[in-house]
A and B are shown apart, each in its own frame.
Chain A
Amino acid sequence: MPNYLNVTGRIFDIQKFSVHDGPGIRTIVFLKGCRLRCRWCCNPESQKFEIQTMIQNGKEKTVGRDVTVEDVLKAVRQDEPYYRRSGGGMTLSGGEMLCQSDFAYALLRSAKEEYINTAVETTGFAPFEEIKKLLPYIDTVLMDIKHTNSAKHKEFTTQPNELILENAVRIAETAKKLIIRVPVIPTFNDTEEEILAIAKFASSLKGVNEINLLPYHSFGRDKYEGLGRKYMMGDLPSPTDEKMEKLKAAAESCGLFCKIGG
């Protein structure tokens, strides 16, 4: 049996005590690199696989480091007492963990060998074969469906959505639990019709009964400056609470349990 603990990968952060990305208290491992370039992305430093330098609060900060699975698990294990009490565990996020699917596989498999609950946050944008081999080791898949219209999807994320929608269907067939997440972005997908279309699609997926609507925020703005990039979203305000409630009602009309926020 190969020693998965020695597999290396590139991460840009490990964040403990997260209670909004999967069940319970979780440790989030942020893998570096993503195939999408969503305009609203609040972690622009996560997109490139290369190690970068970002200016944060006037100081230079190196984003990205290479670590082994053992390094990551060592940090993840430290909070086991909290997972036990809360039903939490490890969540792989990004970037897009599928960009480093061998590393993600080794992480997830090793975690499950230690009986640690696992979750992933994913765009689902990868050949299904790569996703399939991970699924047996994931307890909860949190998958984004950003839009049902491929052209609009491509306009705002640089990639079309056909592969994503196809993968969603296939993931739903084998995943232990799949939750659909929708970043609600004004000017992109914040109408009741658009959310309803996503919710309809989600409710058609096998075993899916939960959808989360994540309201847009501009908290990533400074990071764009720090990376010397232009922030494409301008001064767009976050959707109001009333608006989110309306969209929630639309999603619920498809028989889904809907949460605002993770």
Chain B
Amino acid sequence: MKKIYTDEIKKSDRIGKLIEDLYSGTPTIESTRAEILTESFKKTEGLSIYLRRSHAFKAIAENLPVVIRDNELIVGCNAFARRGCQTFPEYSNKWLEAEFDTIADRSADPFYISDETAEKLKEVHKYWQGKTTSELATSYMTPEALTAIEHNIFTVGNYFYNGIGHVNADYAKVLKIGFKGIYDYASKERDKCNIYDKDYATRYNFLTAVMESCEAAIIFAKRYSEAARKLAAECTDITRRDELLKIAEICARVPENGAQSFYEACQSFWFVQLLIQTESSGHSISPGRFDQYMYPYYIKDIESGKITREFAQELIDCIWVKLNSLNKVRDAVSAEGFAGYSMFQNLIVGGQDSSGVDVTNDLSFMCLTASMHVKLPQPSLSMRVWNGTPNELLVKAAELTKTGIGLPAYYNDEVIIPALISRGLTLQDARDYCVIGCVEPQKGGKTDGWHDAAFFNMCRTLELVFSNGKDRGVQVGPKTGTLAELDTYDKFFNAYKQQMDYAIKLMVNADNAVDYAHMQRCPLPFLSSMVDDCIARGKSAQEGGAVYNFTGPQGFGIANVADALYAVNELVYKTKAVTLEQYADAIKNNFGQEYTDDYAKALTVEVVKEIVSKGYEVSDNQISEIFRQIKSNDIAADKKKEYEALYEKIKSLPKFGNDDDAVDHYGREAAYTYTKPVERYQNPRGGRFHAGLYPVSANVPLGLQTGATPDGRLAGTPIADGVSPAAGRDVHGPTASANSVAKLDHGIASNGTLFNMKFHPSALKGASGIEGFISLIRAFFDQKGMHMQFNVVSRETLRDAQLHPENYKGLVVRVAGYSALFTTLSKSLQDDIINRTEQGGF
């Protein structure tokens, strides 16, 4: 076996300067792209949508400002401001206009927008009235689906408001043959078109648009070449002048041509990454197996002595910084669901190749090092793990995990490969999977995965069981029986399954409506030029041009539903401690507990709206009084006592996450109520639906829309994230928690599952800490867990854990010669550990 170089490479000074510069500004909204796009669209009214899109893309490439910042080795921006962003009015724009005055101060992901930009965008938006994908999508949806969305059963907001993204383009192809090569390929395919072919019109137009998009990319790079040359001419610093001349030389060659060096490959990669996110607003544009497709260029230059490993590392670090420069403005609600300006550019290292051989290489290690150097959220670094993964790579990854940035996420080849094969991938393609966005596996370069198609709140459908399908007076779900009729657990569970089946059908309706809207209004010729087999099929990815097509909507709340089903069965049907009516009453009254501020606020808004709608005025004082009354949830003492008694009973029951087969079984069943129905459905691109089980960060805002649930979760509080146990309920340490999670059927959730685990940095201390950590991952994966990520928590979290121990029951800390659950420790010991953290002594 070839020697893999794993030694640490020092971070160059340049990287620190680039990061400092990047974060010196506020995220800003810009209007250039929207203006150019709209100008172009006004001129192309009569043309096919393919050409309208590619003409506009070319105009954007020709006219976006060229920005080369100090110290940059890799160049290319799509906004003028640091971490600035363009807007994409062709998808949706009304929400943005509505937020112009508040967006700078909103709680999640605020953006600065100047009055001038706001005015320009307002002007642009006039043109798009009635022409956006979101408007068309709405018109395609059935009224029942719109009602379900309005009642927060699920949301398809991600692709409703934005581009699709969630793709891994064929970077390797661009690196190899350049856009000139792709242009030639499309041109040859176009030459094959016969004017009498049934699809001549669309095929010919689409391929022409692909060719024009390739030209656009080349033009964009050449503008950078010229700009760099100009800057060099004015530059007095000789070192920087040479760097600029090198940049000029490289941008003149790539991405037009195939890369001839590692440096060229890096720059070419970046142009692709940047331009995909300029053509459309879809996020989760995932670089995928970077360590694989970059390796031939790296090893050639290293072996010929053309570059040093230090310089290669510096280039990779530069790309890492660049990946953090891209930004996207989302509507306020989505921003909460994807909090943290996240672009979800998932880059994965390690794993096997299409023939089943482990292909960990120098770059796998250098990617981990790059994240260690930049300590920034992008790329969303992932790592493939299988039986053949060298322990060395896991040790390196564990060291990164230890830094507390939550990277990398770990993925299990042994589950994902068969899961993808079950969805129709070839063995070879499945082995070559990468991960998109959060946790979604696909074969890169030939898949349109639609991975983040919806958030489906499994707790909301459970609420509908208690109200015979009604929500706030509206029949949202089917009538599944009055409480009196649900006199056995089987009937109760069947009612839940019916609510799920029905809501899932509505979600499919909504997703497919959005899908058609993108197909008809926003095909993406540039992206499609890098997704097989769009060119040969003469179809954009949005029309089913990709080899593999999926729609992956994600469900969440499994732990809550599991605990709820178990509790209802125990307390109502088995021990008959309470009736279902009493249970329903207690839930409705939040178990007699105070409401959280946010939930009380939401209820207050409802009440005030109703009063105002009746023509009354409400003063500020009256509003605060209403809020106070709602929040305190003041109910009769005897009732309160009854609710609290039930609340305590529920709390004392076993919960999912403690390796208790009796309740974990319900977790498995709960997950199936989502994963099994979802896979029945087809999408308009000729592919199928398959489920994911992960919430991004939506479990918090969508929890706010959910009343108290039978598992003892109070109204408005977060829902359990992903497949993880509900917060604070896994009290028997990491192995028990992992064992419970491993009991779910992960393979059927082929759009990905997400398991979060919290650790204190001290738990990873020393050789035995690291080895234990690695064994934990390997043993979870032996039991067919799919994904694992680690929150290595900070001092602030530990402080919070002291104040709210109920939320942190599973938090592991290293004490002295041993690790322990933080909340089981005495106050003084907790203080001691917190103080140690403060000293940064790890």
Q: Chain A residues in contact with chain B, CB under 8 A? A: 15-21, 24-25, 56-57, 78-79, 81-82, 84-86, 88, 214-215, 217, 219, 221-223, 261-262
Q: Which of B667-685 contact A (CB under 8 A)?
A: none
Question: Could you give, for residues 824-839 of chain B, a 1 whenever the CB lies within 8 Å of some chain A CB and a 0 otherwise?
Answer: 0111110010000000
Given contacts A17-B776, A25-B772, A25-B776, contact A78 B736 (CB under 8 A): yes
Q: How far is the CA of A53 from the CA of B780 in the complex (A)?
A: 37
Do B817 and A19 have beta carbons less than 8 Å apart?
no
**Which residues of chain A are near B819, meaning CB under 8 Å?**
17-20
Residues on A with C-beta less than 8 A from B816 are: 214-215, 217, 219, 261
- Given A78-B735, A222-B826, A15 contacting B820 (CB threshold 8 A): yes
Interface size on B, residues (CB 8 A): 32
Contacts of A221 in B (CB 8 A): 826, 828
Is B775 an interface residue, CB under 8 A from the partner? yes
Task: Identify the interface centre among A86, A217, A262: most chain B CB within 10 Å of its CB.
Answer: A86
**Contact in complex: B775, A20 (CB < 8 Å):** no
Which residue, of A17, A57, A82, A262, has the highest number of chain B Cβ atoms within 10 A? A17
Which chain A residue shows the least CB distance to B768? A19
Mask, B387-405, CB within 8 Å of A = 1, is 0000000000000000000
Residues of B within 8 A of A214 (CB): 816-817
Query: What residues of A have a CB within 8 angstroms of the CB of B820 in the complex?
Result: 15
The CA of A245 and the CA of B708, in the complex, are separated in Å by 55
A20 with B768: CB separation less than 8 A:
yes
Q: Which of A16, A20, A215, A217 contacts B732 (CB 8 A)?
A: A16
Shortest beta-carbon contacts, A-B, top 7: A19-B772, A86-B775, A222-B826, A81-B779, A85-B775, A262-B817, A82-B779
Other-chain residue from B734, B780, B827 in contact with A57 (beta carbon distance below 8 A): B827
Residue of A57, A81, A217 contacting most chain B CB atoms (<10 Å): A81
Does residue B778 face the partner (Cβ distance < 8 Å to A)? yes
Q: For B560, what are the chain A residues with a Cβ–Cβ distance below 8 Å?
A: none
Q: Which residues of A contact B780 (CB under 8 A)?
A: 81
Bound-state Cα–Cα, A16 to B782, Å? 18
Tell me, yes or no, whether B155 is within 8 Å of chain A by CB: no
Having A19-B819, A222-B827, A262-B768, one finds 18 other A-B pairs with CB under 8 Å, namely A15-B733, A15-B820, A16-B732, A17-B776, A19-B771, A20-B819, A56-B826, A81-B782, A82-B779, A84-B782, A86-B775, A214-B817, A217-B816, A219-B815, A219-B829, A221-B828, A222-B829, A223-B826
The answer to whether A17 and B779 have CB atoms under 8 Å apart is no
A-B contact pairs, 20 of them (CB 8 A): A15-B733, A16-B732, A16-B735, A17-B776, A19-B769, A19-B772, A19-B819, A20-B818, A24-B775, A56-B826, A57-B826, A84-B782, A85-B775, A86-B771, A86-B772, A86-B775, A219-B815, A219-B828, A221-B828, A222-B829
Interface-central residue, B734, B771, B819, by most chain A CB under 10 Å: B771
Query: With the chains together, A221 CA to B768 CA distance in Å?
Result: 27
Chain A residues with CB under 8 A of B812: 17
B735 touches A17 (CB 8 A): yes
Asked if B766 is an interface residue, CB under 8 A from chain A, the answer is: yes
Pick from B733, B736, B815, B818: contact of A21, CB under 8 Å: B818
Cα–Cα, bound, A222→B820 (Å): 16
Docked-complex contact A219 and B827, CB < 8 angstroms: no
Contacts of A78 in B (CB 8 A): 659, 735-736, 739
For A19, list chain B residues within 8 Å (CB): 768-769, 771-772, 819
- B818–A18 touching, CB < 8 Å: yes
Output the nearest chain B residue to A13 by Cβ-Cβ distance.
Answer: B824
Give the Cβ gap from A165 to chain B, nearest Cβ, in Å.
23
Which of A16, A56, A85, A217 gathers the greatest number of chain B CB atoms within 10 Å?
Answer: A85
Contacts of B827 in A (CB 8 A): 57, 222
In the complex, the answer to whether B818 meets A25 with C-beta atoms within 8 Å is no
* Complex Cα spacing A215 to B812, Å: 21
Interface string of B724-747 (1 = CB under 8 A from A): 000000001111100100000000
A56 CA / B732 CA spacing, docked (Å)? 18
| A208 to B354 alpha-carbon distance, docked (Å) | 49
Residues in chain A near residue B659, CB distance under 8 A = 78
B783 within 8 A of A: yes
- Complex CA gap A25/B826 in Å reads 24
B733/A17 in contact, CB under 8 A: yes
List chain A residues, Cβ under 8 A from B826: 56-57, 219, 221-223
Complex CA gap A250/B735 in Å reads 38
B64-93 near A? 1/0 per residue, CB < 8 Å: 000000000000000000000000000000
A157 vs B149: C-alpha distance when bound (angstroms): 69
Least CB distance from A245 to B in Å reads 15
Q: Considering only CB atoms, which chain A residue lies closest to B818 in the complex?
A: A20
Alpha-carbon gap, A118 to B828, bound state (A): 33
Residues of A within 8 A of B766 (CB): 261
Residues of A within 8 A of B771 (CB): 19, 24, 86
Bound together, the chains give a CA A262 to CA B832 distance in angstroms of 20
Task: Determine the distance from Cα of A17 to Cα of B734 in the docked complex, in whole angstroms.
Answer: 7
Which residue, of B732, B766, B780, B816, has the highest number of chain A Cβ atoms within 10 A? B816
Chain B proximity of A217: nearest CB distance (Å)? 5
User: B733 near A16 (CB under 8 angstroms)?
Assistant: yes
Chain A residues near B782 (CB, 8 Å)? 81, 84-85
- Please judge, given known A-B contacts A18-B818, A57-B826, A219-B815, whether A85 and B779 are in contact too, CB under 8 Å: yes
Q: Which of B736, B768, B775, B832 lies in contact with A16, CB distance below 8 A?
A: B736
| Measured CA separation A3–B325 after assembly (Å) | 67
Which residues of the other chain, B, contact A85 by a CB distance below 8 angstroms?
Answer: 775, 778-779, 782
Closest to B812 in A: A17
Find out whether the CB atom of A219 lies under 8 angstroms from the CB atom of B832: yes
The CA-CA distance from A221 to B818 in the complex, in Å, is 17
CB closest chain-B residue, reference A87 = B775
Residues of B with C-beta under 8 A to A215: 816
Let me know if B779 and A86 touch, CB within 8 A: yes
Residues on B with C-beta less than 8 A from A86 are 771-772, 775, 779
CA distance A84 to B775 in the complex (A): 9
Cβ distance A235 to chain B, nearest Cβ, rounded Å: 12
How far is it, in angstroms, between the C-alpha of A84 and the C-alpha of B782 when the chains are bound?
A: 10
> In the complex, which residue of chain A has the Cβ closest to the Cβ of B814?
A20
B775 contacts A82, CB within 8 Å? yes
Cβ-defined contact, B768 with A222, below 8 A:
no
Chain B residues lying within 8 Å of A261, measured Cβ to Cβ, are 766, 816-817
Complex Cα distance, B835 from A219, in Å, reads 14
A222 x B783 contact (CB < 8 A): no
List of B residues within 8 angstroms of A56 by Cβ = 826
Q: Given the known A-B contacts A16-B732, A17-B812, are A25 and B775 also in contact in the complex, defined by CB atoms under 8 Å?
A: yes
Give the complex CA separation of A24 and B816 in angstroms.
17
